[in-house]
Structure 1
Amino acid sequence: MSDADQLIARQHANPHAYLGAHPENGSVVVRTFRPAASTVEVVAPDGKHSALEQVHPGGIFEGHLKGVKLPYAYQLEVNYGDSGTITIDDPYRFLPTIGELDVHLLGEGRHEELWDRLGAHVRELDGVVGTAFAVWAPSARAVSVVGDFNFWDGRIHPMRSLGSSGVWELFLPGVGEGAHYKYEILAPDGEIRLKADPVAFETELPPKTASVVHDPKHEWLDEAWVAERRESSALEGPMSIYEVHLGSWRLNPLEGNRALTYLELADELSAYAKDMGFTHIELLPVMAHPFTGSWGYQVTGYFAPTPRFGSPDDLREFVDRLHQSGIGVILDWVPAHFPRDDFALARFDGTALYEHADPRRGAHPDWGTLVFNYGRHEVRNFLVSNALFWLEEYHADGIRVDAVASMLYLDYSREAGEWVPNQYGGNEDLDAVGFLKEFNEVVYSRSPGVISAAEESTAWPGVSRPTYLGGLGFGFKWNMGWMHDTLAYFQHDPIYRRYHHHELTFSLVYAFTENFILPLSHDEVVHGKGSLLTKMPGDRWQKLANLRSLYAYMWAHPGKKLLFMGQEFAQEVEWSENRSLDWHLLENPEHAGIQSLVRDLNAAYKAEPALWEMDFDGNGFWWTEANAADDNVIAFARRTKDSERVALFVGNFSPAVRDNYRIGLPRGGRWREAVNTDATYYGGSGVGNMGGVDAEAIGWHGQPFSAEVTLPPLAALWLIPDADDGPEEDA
C-alpha cells in the first residue's frame, strides 16, 4: 500500500516521512493531507504563494519548490470552497518534541518525569506556539490526535511512531490551552478506539470524557513551607490528620446545595482545619474519575484533578493556601486497580497494555476493575512518575496508597483455581512488591520530608521499614488491627467489657513493629456501619461519653492520628457522598462539646512532645495499669527521648465514678489534668480532680509515686506534671 493510501486509510505509522517538506531531485517537495480541501498553497516566509497540485483524490496535495533550503518555515493556505480559507503552520515540518534520551528512558521505564514528555504540552517551536502531543501505545498500528480543532476527524492529524519505545508524537501549531482532544488508535485487530489521554492534565466534567489541554500558570507562595518540610521528619513530629471528601464536606445551600469549589474550600477548609488544630488534611482521591459514587477510588485520569470543583490551577491554589495556613495536604492514591471504562486505560491500544491479559491476575473480583501489570516496566514508570507528579507539580505533602493488601497477594479475594502462584509457588505478588519498593525509594529520594502511607490490613512484615532492611519502604502504615479491636471493645456494653479488656491492650503487643497511623477513616462510617456515635452503646449520654473517651484514648496512644470528617462533632448518621455533613448539629451543645474536645485534644497533643516524640520506640511507652479488667480501667505513660517530659493516660470505661482510685505515677509533684473528657464544657457530668492531683511517695503499679485519683464515668484523663520539681523514674 502506498504512503498516500496508508494515510487515507488511517494506517500510516510515520506520516512525517511522507508529509511536510523533503529534499527531492535538487528541489524541495511539500506534501500535505487536507481532506475536502479545494486548493492548497504554500506561503513562504516572505509571503510568496506557491500552489500545490492534488495528486490523490483522497486529499493529498504536493508541489516542488525551487531555491528553497531546509528547514523551511512555511505555512499552508487551505481553501475549503464555500467553507472558507484558513492559514496554518504545517504540523509535519517540525522535528520531534521528544529527544533521544527521553525515548531511551521511556522505553526502559526509567523516566521519572514522564509527565514532562507525554501528554499535551503548550510549547513554542521555531517561533510557533502550539501543543506537543505524545502518547504510549506500543501495539497500535496508527494513532491520530482528534479534537475540536480538527472536527474530531482522525484523518487530519496522524502521529508519528518513535520506534520501539511505543511512543507516538505530534506537534500541532495553533492548538492551545482549553482545547479538547482524544487519541484515535488503530488497534492490531483493525478496530478503531477513541481514548482519553492517560497523561492528560485536565479533563472534561463528567459525563463528558475528553481530555483538555492545560498550561499551568499558578505561582507558588509556599517556599518557606516546602523548605521546612524538606528539613523535617514526619516520624518525630505531631501528626493529626483530618480526612476529607471534598464534594460533601460542606455544600452551598444558597446555590442549590452545590459542592464548594477548590477556591472556596481553600478558605473555608483551611480555616476550619487550623481552628481545630489538625496538622494535615487527607483528601479522598482528587484524581479525575467518572463516577461520583466511587469517591474517587476508580480513577480514569491519573494526572488530572477532578474538574467538579474547578481547574487544575484552582487545586494548586487550594494546596498553596493550606500550606500558608500551616496545614499539610496528603492525597489518597490508587495504584491497585482502575475501572473498565472504554474511553480510559482499559485495553488502551487494543491489547492488555496497562492491565494483565490473564483475568486471574488482571481482573479484580471485589470491585469489577482491572489490576495494573506491575511486571511491565513502562507501567511501573507510569505509576511512579504519577506519584511524583502530585508531589512536585501540586506540592502535596504525602501520598497514602489505597488497598495495598490487594496488591501484595495474588489470591486476594480469590478462591482456589482463580489465581496464579508466583515462580516460587507462593501467593505473594512479587511484581507488586518490587513496584512498591521502587515507588518509595524514588519518592523519598526526590522529595525528602514527604509522607508515604500504606493502607495495609494484613500482617505483611516491614511495610514501614526501609527497603535496604527488606521492608516495603513506606513511611507509615495504617493500624487496621488497632482500629478493629478498639472499635470492637467500645461497642460492647460496659458490663461486658471486662471480658474483652485485652482487645484494648493487645495493640501494644505490636505497636512498635511498624510506624503506625491510627485511622478512624471513612471506611468505618459507610455501607451500613453507621457513624462512630451510633456504634457506641448505652443511652444518648453514654454514647457521647464513650465517644469522648475513645478520642482521648486514641490521641494518647502511640501512633499518628487520622479522623474522618464529621466525626469530630459526632455526626449522627453514616456518611454519604450525596449530602453535606450535618453542620446544624453544632447548634446542640452536646455535639459542640465533642468538637471542642477534639480541638482541645489536638492542642494538648501538639503541646506535649511526650505524646508524639517516641511514637515508634517502645522505650517511650509503659503500662502503669493494664490488667484492671473488672474495673474497665487502663493507665499508661509516655515520655520524650530525654525523659524530660512525661504524660499519663487514665481511662475509666465503665459508667461508675471511681473515687480514690490509686494510680501509679513515674515522678512526684503536682500533676495537672490537661484533659478530662467528663468536663461539662464537653458535655460531661463534671466529675474530676479540681484540675490536678499531688503525687505521694507511695509505690504503686510499679511506679515510685502514686496518687488517689477520682476517675469520671466513661471518661479519660490526661495527667501532665506541672513542673519538673520531682524525681523521675522510668518503669
Structure 2
Amino acid sequence: MTPRPPSSGPDPKKSAEQTAEEKSIAKKVSAQKKSVTKKSVTKKAAKSAEKAAESVKKAAAKKAAAKKTATKKPTVKQAAAKKPAVKKPTVKQAAAKKSAPRKTTTAKKVAPTKAAEMAGGVAVSPALGAEDRDRLLSGTHHDPHAVLGAHPVPGGVAFRAFRPYARSVTVLTEELRAELHDDGAGFFSGLLPLRDVPEYRLLVTYEGAEQETEDAYRFLPALGDLDLHLIGEGRHEQLWTALGAEPMTHQGVTGTRFTVWAPNARGVQVAGTFNFWDGTGNPMRSLGSSGVWELFVPGIGEGELYKFEITRPDGSRTLRADPLARRTEAPPNTSSIVHASHYEWGDTEWLERRGTVPAHEGPFSVYEVHLPSWRPGLTYRELAEQLPAYVKDLGFTHVELMPVAEHPFGGSWGYQVTGFYAPTARLGTPDDFKYLVDALHRAGIGVLMDWVPAHFPRDDWALAEFDGRPLYEHEDPLRSAHPDWGTLEFDFGRREVRNFLVANAIYWCEEFHIDGLRVDAVASMLYLDYSREPGQWIPNVHGGRENLDAVAFLQEMNATVYRRVPGVVTIAEESTAWDGVTRATHHIGPGGFGGLGFGLKWNMGWMHDSLGYMAHEPVHRKYHH
C-alpha cells in the first residue's frame, strides 16, 4: 500500500481527458491554492473549498488508480506541502463529512529528510474485520496482539489502537508524529510508509486531557515457555513468580505483567484504577492450551488496584480478584493490589541454626495467637514491639499464628481464605508482616502458621466458579460442597489446583520465612464420607471411602516443602486414626497407603480430652480420669 498523492490539483498533461466536472473542480482547487499561498483565505473561499473537498479527493483517487493499480482508495484528508523543506505549517483542509470527522496529519517537528514522506498524511490501513471488532468489543478476543499494535503490511506499517472514549490517537516516534484515523467505536488506525516497525509511543487525547503512553500491544509475551510448560504439568514450584501481577521491566519498558489461569474463559481483560475499572481497552491474550492469559501493561506500578474481568462461557462477565495477588485491600474491599517486596531480612543467623536442628528434636512449646484479637488495634509492626518479649517471658519456643492469609469474614478467624498469597491487610502490608516474623526470629522465637488448603468460601468475586465453571472446586457437587461449613472443597485431583496449593505452602516458607505449617482440617480432606450420609458420597475406584486425590496432594506437598525448605516442620491437624500421618511417603502401611509425610500430628483428641478434664473443679477431677 502507498500513501495517496498530494492535493496539488489535476495533472495539466491529462486535462484534455478530464470531464467537464473535473475541469470545474480543477478551477476551484486552483483558486483555493492561490488563496492558501497568500495566507488570506476569505470566508467565501473557505466555504467553496469545503464544498469541493470531497470531489477533489475522488478525482485524486481516480488519477492515483490510473498510475498505480495497487494504490488503495483513500478516505482521509491531505496536508498541503508544496515545499516540505520549508518550516511553514501545513494547511488543513476541511472535513468532507461531519458524521465521520478526520483531522489532517501534519508533519510538526519532523526531520527534513522525513518531511516529504509525511507530507501526504496517513493512509488508511488494511481494514480490521468486523469479526475482530465485535470480539474486541465483547471481550472475547483470544489474541488482541495479532490485530492491535503495529504490523508490517504491503506498503508500510499498519498501526491500530483500541482506545474507548478517546477523541484521537497519535503515533509518536523520534522522527514523526502521525494522527491515526478515527474508525469509530474506539478504534483508530493508519498506514505509514515505513520499512520496519519503529519504537513508538501513543498520544491519546480524551475530553479535556492528553496521555502519552506506550502501546501495550507492541510487546512480546512477558511469560516464558518454561513457565507455561511447568504450569501445564502442574509442577511450577514458584507459581507466584509466573501468575498474578508482577512489576517488571520488559523490552526496556517498566510496567506490570498481568497473568491469570482461566481455561474456560472466552476472554479476559484487566480492569483497575488505571482504566477507571473498564477493562474493555485492555484485553489479554491467551497463551495457547495452557489456559493462561497474559498482558504487559506499561507504566503501571506498585500500589495500583486491579481485578480480572472475565467473560464466561455463556457470554456474561464477572469481575474477579487475583487468586495469586500478593497484596489486597482491607475487607470489606476486595481489590487486588500490585505489589513488590523491598524488605531486607535480618534473621540469617536464625535460619542457619534452624537448618541444622529439626524442630521436633528440640524443645517445642507453642503459643497459639490470633493476631487481630490478641491486643486489638495493633498493626504488624506494633505487634513486633510487644509479642516477642511477651512470648519469651512465658517460656514458649514458638508462636502459632492463626490463619494470616486474607479472608473477608473476620468471624471465621481466618479459616475461610480468599487471598491465599496475601497476608491480611487488616494489620498492614506484606512487608509489615515480614517485619513481625523477623522480630520474632531475632528474639529466638519460631513462627508457625495455620494453613487452610481444605476449602474456600463461595464469594462470587473470589475462587468459586472462577472462570464461569468449576475450576478450583470439584465439578461433582457431591465432592465440592463441604457439608459442615458451607464452603467449597478444592479439586485435589486437578494438577493445576494441586500446583496452586503446593506452591502456596512453599511461598509462605520461602517468602515469609515461616518455620512450619499447621495444616487445618486434614481429616475432612482424607475421607470422602466426612460428615456425609449414605448417598451423599461416591466411593473411590477401589470402593473405599479414602480420598485418594487428597492423599496424593498431602504427600506431594510435604515432600516438596521438606525438599525445598530445610528446617521447616509440617503439622497435621488430624482427629481420626488414619494410619501413617507422620510416616514417610514412600513407606507403605497396613492400609496399603504410603505415609502422608507430616513431621508432627496435632492430636485433636488429646486437646479436647485435656480441656474437658481441666474444666472440672479440682475436687471432681478424680471422677473423670
After superposition, residues 48-447 of structure 1 pair within 5 angstroms as 48-55=176-183, 57-70=184-197, 72-80=198-206, 82-251=207-376, 259-447=377-565
Percent of paired sites with the same residue: 61
1:236 maps to a residue whose letter is: E
Unaligned runs of 5+ in 2: 1-129, 588-593
Judged with a 3 Å threshold, the aligned counterparts in structure 2 of structure 1 residues 293 and 488 are, in CA distance, closer, same or farther, namely closer
Alignment deviations for residues 198-230 of structure 1 (CA, whole Å, 9 cap, x no partner):
000111111111111111110111111112112
Shift of 1:307: 0.5
Distance in 2, matches of 1:224 and 1:491, equals: 42
**1:478 aligned residue:** 602
Shift of 1:2: 1.8
Aligned equivalent of 1:21, options 150, 162, 167: 150
Shift of 1:158: 0.3
Tell me the TM-score normalized by structure 2: 0.77
Judged with a 3 Å threshold, the aligned counterparts in structure 2 of structure 1 residues 177 and 190 are, in CA distance, closer, same or farther, namely same
Alignment deviations for residues 383-421 of structure 1 (CA, whole Å, 9 cap, x no partner):
000111111111111111000000001111111111111
Provide the secondary structure at the position in 1 that maps to 2:227: helix
Alignment deviations for residues 182-205 of structure 1 (CA, whole Å, 9 cap, x no partner):
000000011101100000011111
Distance in 2, matches of 1:104 and 1:238, equals: 43
Aligned equivalent of 1:12, options 134, 141, 145: 141
After superposition, residues 488-527 of structure 1 pair within 5 angstroms as 488-492=612-616, 497-498=621-622, 500-501=624-625
Provide the secondary structure at the position in 1 that maps to 2:388: helix
Provide the secondary structure at the position in 2 that maps to 1:247: helix
Distance in 2, matches of 1:262 and 1:68, equals: 57
Shift of 1:65: 2.6
Distance in 2, matches of 1:497 and 1:9, equals: 70
Alignment deviations for residues 584-618 of structure 1 (CA, whole Å, 9 cap, x no partner):
xxxxxxxxxxxxxxxxxxxxxxxxxxxxxxxxxxx
Shift of 1:487: 3.3
Aligned equivalent of 1:453, options 527, 551, 571: 571
Shift of 1:59: 1.3
Shift of 1:496: 5.8
Shift of 1:136: 0.3
1:21 maps to a residue whose letter is: A
Alignment deviations for residues 641-682 of structure 1 (CA, whole Å, 9 cap, x no partner):
xxxxxxxxxxxxxxxxxxxxxxxxxxxxxxxxxxxxxxxxxx
Alignment RMSD, CA only? 1.3
The number of aligned residues is: 490
Alignment deviations for residues 256-282 of structure 1 (CA, whole Å, 9 cap, x no partner):
xxx200000011001111222211111
Judged with a 3 Å threshold, the aligned counterparts in structure 2 of structure 1 residues 393 and 495 are, in CA distance, closer, same or farther, namely closer
Provide the secondary structure at the position in 2 that maps to 1:308: coil
**1:487 aligned residue:** 611
Tell me the TM-score normalized by structure 1: 0.66
Distance in 2, matches of 1:27 and 1:231, equals: 65
Shift of 1:100: 0.6
Unaligned runs of 5+ in 1: 252-258, 502-731
Distance in 2, matches of 1:77 and 1:487, equals: 69
Distance in 1, matches of 2:257 and 2:537, equals: 42
1:48 maps to a residue whose letter is: L
1:30 aligns with 2:159: yes
Distance in 2, matches of 1:24 and 1:400, equals: 59
Shift of 1:54: 2.1
Alignment deviations for residues 215-247 of structure 1 (CA, whole Å, 9 cap, x no partner):
111011111111211222112100111100001
Judged with a 3 Å threshold, the aligned counterparts in structure 2 of structure 1 residues 68 and 293 are, in CA distance, closer, same or farther, namely farther
Distance in 2, matches of 1:127 and 1:496, equals: 76
Alignment deviations for residues 546-601 of structure 1 (CA, whole Å, 9 cap, x no partner):
xxxxxxxxxxxxxxxxxxxxxxxxxxxxxxxxxxxxxxxxxxxxxxxxxxxxxxxx
Judged with a 3 Å threshold, the aligned counterparts in structure 2 of structure 1 residues 427 and 187 are, in CA distance, closer, same or farther, namely same
Distance in 1, matches of 2:315 and 2:251, equals: 36
Judged with a 3 Å threshold, the aligned counterparts in structure 2 of structure 1 residues 418 and 332 are, in CA distance, closer, same or farther, namely same
Between structures 1 and 2, the one with greater strand share: 1
Larger-Rg structure: 2
Shift of 1:483: 2.0
Provide the secondary structure at the position in 1 that maps to 2:486: coil
Distance in 2, matches of 1:494 and 1:306, equals: 41
